[in-house]
Homo-oligomer: A and B are copies of this chain.
Amino acid sequence: MNDTKLRILDAAERLFAQQGFDVSIRAITDEAGVNLAAVNYHFQSKEALLDAIIARRIEPVNKRRLEMLDAIEARTGDRPLPLEAVLEAFLAPVLEAPFEHFKPLIGRMYSVPEEFIKRVFHVHLAPIVVRFDAAFARALPDLPESERIWRLYFSIGAMVHVMNWSRVLRPISNGVLDPSDTRALMRRMVAFAAAGFRAPVVENQPVHRGTN
């Protein structure tokens, strides 16, 4: 790939992750050390640049997620899929992605349902969600569909929230939370989500209010 084009991608990714998606093109080209017009030359517009940045990082992560899921299904045969393994296939490639600014970048992306993000969702996210929902159905055949999808979204929410606050979790928790240990974080999240997925389905009655 062209050198300036790469420099723009890297600089824009860095600034988007640090300051949000409303960084000016001038700030990007300054950071990249290239001319102002280079963005509209190599990409058509600022929005297309953003698409390219997201795609560059999401694609390999999604590829890894599907690879891990394929491996699980291959070695499981016709038996129910192991829930923790499916969760790991869904979470680990994201939480442990080797891209420096991936967490805040994706965290911001997930949380701003503007027009452009709906497009990103349909292109990059929806196929993954559909594929994994089928896997969760195979892991929990007795769980009703709506309950299963709700719990998948709860799990995604936990993941996104940690990505979003990864830079501030340590200070605001007085150092108790350490998001840099991605392996331990992944195990914690898998344990939490797996238990949530296996929770008894709530009936149409008030929640328990008595003793523990």
Contact = CB atoms under 8 A, between A and B. Distances in A.
Interface string A170-207: 00110011000000111111111111111111101001
A153 B177 contact: yes
Contacts of A5: none
The size bracket of the interface on A is 35 or more
7 contacts: A20-B114, A188-B202, A191-B202, A191-B207, A195-B195, A195-B199, A195-B200
A197 to B, nearest CB: 8
A145 B162 CA distance: 17
A91 to B, nearest CB: 10
Given A112-B20, A146-B176, A212-B79, A118 B192 contact: no
Contact of A209 (B85, B147, B161, B201): B85
Contacts of A154: 158, 161-162, 189, 192-193
B157 A159 contact: yes
